[in-house]
Amino acid sequence: MIRRFLGAVQFLTIIPVRSQTAVPGQSALFFPVVGAALGIAGGLALDATRGYLPFALTSILVLAFWTLITGGLHDDGFADVADAVRAWRTPEHIQRILKDSRIGAHGAIALILLTLIRWQALGSITVPPVPALAACLAISRTVIVALLWITPVAGEGSALTFSQSLTSTTAILVLCQGVAFAFWPGALAASWLLGISTLTVLLARIWFTKRMGGVNGDCLGATSQVAETLCLIVFTCQPCIS
């Protein structure tokens, strides 16, 4: 079990892990926990600096911390997908672009816009930030597992290795954790968070399967970022939380 947890830390962050870890599919069991820990850290930072620093400044610092601690893994996936999946491109063309480590104009613009939306959403949260951010980041990591569980893998790479070692038991346990974290900020918020994240996964499955024949690592990261952003927006909408 410790190897699984360390594997999740190693997979989702840049924190060095010296011990032997489990394969990604087994480590996925702790993805929501690692996500929640990142959210709690961000929430504590927002609480600790309240009254000392402008909330907007602290919000961008929290985003910077998340990007640094995760190595920008999911941001990179979002930018790559934005570059690749434009109209009329064949699955083969999309795959070639996703394998290119360079970021194009569409990817850069999409990533900037996504970051601005996340910043504004984070700075507009009016509820206690610790449970809210823990729920958002736990759900966004749960989405990775959920999408991979129900969607075929396109091509070879990390997603294929991940999928081959992911069992239904692990996936179901991950989903249960995601649901549990969603209820931390309250039942009303949970209904919105779970509804939006479920819809995100289903739409992503349909879209990626139609455009690419399945998903790869970039698709998983991009979907995670979209789900996280939508969850953050929930906590700026008063009818959704009170």
Residue with tokens 């790559």: 80
Q: Which of 187, 190, 63 is nearest to 139 (CA)?
A: 190
Q: Report pTM.
A: 0.94
Tell me the per-residue pLDDT of 54-99, one tens digit each, with 9 for 90 and over: 989 999 999 999 999 999 988 988 998 888 877 567 777 777 777 7
Beta bridge partners of 50: 53
Percent of all residues in the chain with a pLDDT value above 70, rounded to a whole number: 98
| Cα Rg, the chain, nearest whole Å | 17
Cα separation, 183 vs 187, in Å, equals 5
Weakest mean pLDDT among 7-21, 32-46, 77-91, 171-185: 77-91
Grade residue 102 by pLDDT with cuts at 50, 70 and 90: confident
Tell me the per-residue pLDDT of 159-194, one tens digit each, with 9 for 90 and over: 888 899 999 999 999 999 999 999 999 999 999 999
